[in-house]
Amino acid sequence: MTIKIGVLAPYQGLRDIAWSEAENIDHIEIEAVVGEMMEAVQPAIEMEQKGIEVLISRGGTADTIRDYVSIPVIDIEVSGYDILRILTLIKDSNEKITLIGFASVCHGVMEVSKLLNIDIPYTTVDSSREVGQAVQEAVDHGFNTILGDAVSMKYIEQFGVRGIMITSGQEAVHQSLIRAKEIAQAISETRQEIYSYQSLFKTSPEGIIVFNAQGKIEFTNHAFHSLFQLHSPIEYISEMDSKYEGIFSKTIGYPFTQQHLKQKGKNILLEGSAFLKGDHPHYIVKCIDESLYSLESERFSIQSLRSDIKSFSQLCESDKQLNHIIQRCRHNINNPTVILKGRPGTGKKSLVSAMHYERNGYIRDQWEILMSSHLKEDEINHLQEMIGHSSGTFYIKGWENLDKKHMNRLIKSSLESSALSVFVTEETTTAERVHWKHLHSCLTVFLPSLQDRIEYLEEYARKFISRYNNLFGKQVVGITEHLLHNWQEKQWTKNLSELRELIKTGVYFSEEPYLKEQDVQGEREDRKPKENLDIDLSKTLTEIEEEIILKVVKEENYNQTRAAQRLGINRATLWRRLKNAE
């Protein structure tokens, strides 16, 4: 791809150097014109209108152009070579010399002149309007030689004194062109990524709305309008039905929210997240009609599989054990059946989502199947048919509790399907009940616990910090040595998921570059548990939800029907949450 770069040169020699250097750089095409200060503004505007992606100029001309265009303007800096050339020229001169220029030029010349023990008086200007007066004052003080840029030279000619222009050499121009090329490439990649996300949002079956802290709507997709029966565009969430407006308003001011509502018999899950657009908080809410993705009975449920991971490259490939597993999965990516073993929180869902994307190149059509040991014959048949006629991915839990006959029927169906079926288990002996013919055809993968790869804990922490920096708009760079040492000695019962939750809490509460013990525990006044509360608010959000669910179930004497009604969820969802809490 050819990158288009515009060069606004304050003097002709600079334009000629730009043309010459551009010939030595692959995949760039430049348009160069001569013009200084305001003379360069109109050509710059026209270049932007033509589709040029980055502009290059120098000194005050570059500063002036920035006020009139929206694309990046790269400075051609005055390099050390440029300054040395000028100082070498004047070092033995008996003339009275001064320097007039913008701060960036004056600073560079002064630093180098000190090293060479050359004393040059100087005057710093902030705009071209100040140059004429500075030249007049220099002449009045008896200076007969003035160093400066192209703007200074124009005024110097009027006073009949000698002017020496500080020019930019090949090195500085070459570096500016390289930097402009890199920036243009980054902009192009970002633009493509934004376009991809916009397309994804527009066509998503999930309703999506984006609004700012004042409730002004900046984006909605078709699914959102359909879900809430909006027949015309709206500008503010306050224009929605009052019961909906109140729900969306609750998102404002919080880093993440999760709410449920019912509309015409549909269960709608609202997942809200905060992000910064510039310095201003914005909120994105996904409105998920759970009926689109779920199939539930008392004995099994099918839900959309959700993971933050999209591809293998997002996993911690510096973990040598995990990297070996990734290579095995890539090598066997067309194998339709995987038996995946690992303790809770070891990253099984992340690995499966990465495998799905590697196979298909998209993130949709990922399903989580949870089952009990008492499936009926017609339910087994239904699952077999679903797996056999899909090309997506199935993350299957609870299969090890089936009787041997049903277990092997399900695995046999998966081996004959074009879908990816991953049979997930925490047990290490499950394979003994799988028929040897089927077992030989399956890819078997074991994910070790965090304890068994503790030397990579800091690398995992960095990945989670990066993720939650983006979410919360923070700039955390790592964890303290003390906290790292404590974590390396800690028993991680929930493995990576436990580490992730601690990092999430820590980044949210941290006010310093490195996470400390009190950050990951959420030890702030607004986080400490209040007296007489039965729920420990110092826990993570997930742990609090689990505690509330278990508390309600216990209060209802373990009657799951009544507990589900109190919690506002169906029995299959309650059963699934209880399984996850085990």
CATH number at residue 180: 3.40.50.2300
Say which range, 146-150, 489-493, 544-548, has the weakest mean pLDDT. Answer: 544-548
Query: What is the average per-residue pLDDT within 402-430?
Result: 85
Q: At what angle do helices 41-50 and 59-66 cross, to 10 degrees?
A: 60
List the strands of the sheet with 73-75, edge to edge.
Answer: 28-34, 3-9, 54-57, 73-75
Q: What is the pLDDT of residue 545?
A: 75
Arithmetic mean of pLDDT over the chain: 84
Q: What is the pLDDT of residue 301?
A: 79
**Alpha helix segments (H runs only) across 204-295:** 222-227, 242-249
| Same domain membership, residue 222 and residue 158 | no
Q: Report the run of H or E that residue 445 belongs to, with start and end.
A: strand 443-447
> Taking Cα atoms as reference points, which of 425, 403, 413 lies closest to residue 381?
413
Query: What is the average per-residue pLDDT within 228-250?
Result: 85
Judge whether residue 558 has pLDDT over 80.
no
In a domain, 192, yes or no: no
Q: Alpha-carbon distance 522 to 519, whole Å?
A: 5
| Same domain membership, residue 180 and residue 43 | yes
CATH of the domain at 157: 3.40.50.10660
Judge whether residue 402 has pLDDT over 70.
yes
- Domain span holding position 106: 80-167
In a domain, 213, yes or no: yes
- The total of structural domains in the chain comes to 5
Whether the predicted model's global pTM rises above the 0.85 cut: no
| Same domain membership, residue 266 and residue 299 | no
| Same domain membership, residue 434 and residue 320 | yes
| Same domain membership, residue 163 and residue 181 | no
Strand partners, 455: none
In sequence order, what DSSP letters do the residues of 46-77 get, joined into one string? HHHHHT--EEEE-HHHHHHHHTT-SS-EEE--
Final residue of a structural domain among 142, 157, 187: 187
Query: What is the average per-residue pLDDT within 175-186?
Result: 92
In a domain, 245, yes or no: yes
Structure-block tokens of residue 173 = 């121009």
Query: What is the average per-residue pLDDT within 284-298?
Result: 70
In a domain, 278, yes or no: yes
Q: What is the pLDDT of residue 68?
A: 95
Strand partners, 124: 101
Judge whether residue 378 has pLDDT over 50.
yes
Final residue of a structural domain among 422, 448, 474: 448
Highest mean pLDDT: which range of 41-45, 80-84, 183-187, 569-573: 41-45
Structure-block tokens of residue 431 = 């394979």
In a domain, 421, yes or no: yes
* Percentage with pLDDT > 70 across the chain: 90
| Same domain membership, residue 249 and residue 275 | yes
Residue 389: band (very low, low, confident or very high) from pLDDT cuts 50, 70, 90: confident
| Same domain membership, residue 317 and residue 254 | no
SS3 (DSSP) at 213: coil
| Same domain membership, residue 49 and residue 177 | yes
In a domain, 394, yes or no: yes
In a domain, 281, yes or no: yes
CATH of the domain at 305: 3.40.50.300
Query: Comparing 526 with 201, which gets the higher pLDDT?
Result: 201
Residue 264: band (very low, low, confident or very high) from pLDDT cuts 50, 70, 90: low
| Same domain membership, residue 396 and residue 330 | yes
Computed on alpha carbons and rounded to an integer, the radius of gyration of the chain in Å comes to: 32
Q: Positive or negative CA dihedral for 242, 247, 248, 254? A: positive
Q: Alpha-carbon distance 380 to 399, whole Å?
A: 11
Q: Alpha-carbon distance 398 to 370, whole Å?
A: 6
Q: Alpha-carbon distance 518 to 503, whole Å?
A: 12
CATH of the domain at 568: 1.10.10.60
Q: Are strands 256-263 and 266-277 parallel, antiparallel or unpaired?
A: antiparallel
Final residue of a structural domain among 424, 448, 472: 448
| Same domain membership, residue 439 and residue 301 | yes
Query: Comparing 234 with 554, which gets the higher pLDDT?
Result: 234
In a domain, 197, yes or no: no
| Same domain membership, residue 341 and residue 428 | yes
| Same domain membership, residue 379 and residue 303 | yes
Query: Comparing 300 with 348, which gets the higher pLDDT?
Result: 348
